[in-house]
Amino acid sequence: MKERDVERYLVKRAKALGGEVRKVQWIGHRGAPDRLVMLPYGSWKKTLRDPGDNTFWVELKAPGVKAEAHQLREHDRMRKKGQTVVIIDSLEGVDNLLGVV
């Protein structure tokens, strides 16, 4: 399985919940997550922080591939600004994030 397979699954599951996934290109910022997930309020079972937390950043990886140090630093910077950033490397990770059964 490749990263693109995890990405396609994330898009499919988010759309099934009425959401959207946007691919983002960052100019001048190495390591920033490249997907923004937007879900309708209350459309999924599991929450990240609270029921209103419906927009979050996702860094997708191929199964078993870890985020690099520069990515972890950028994710930490974003979290300190109140952003929700998650790293997912499997279909099960997508299901866990979205609360899909």
Q: 76: which 2 tokens?
A: 């930490």
pLDDT of residue 30: 82
User: How many CA atoms are closer than 13 Å to the CA of 95, on its beta-carbon side?
Assistant: 5
Beta-carbon count within 10 A of 15 CB: 12
pTM of this prediction?
Answer: 0.85
Spatial separation of the C-alpha atoms in residues 39 and 84, rounded to whole Å: 13
Which domains are delineated in the chain? Answer: 3-98 (3.40.1350.10)
User: Confidence class of residue 101 from pLDDT cuts 50, 70 and 90?
Assistant: very low
pLDDT > 90: percent of the chain: 64
Q: Is residue 11 within 8 Å of 39, Cβ to Cβ?
A: no
Q: What are phi and psi of 65, to 5 degrees?
A: -85, 130
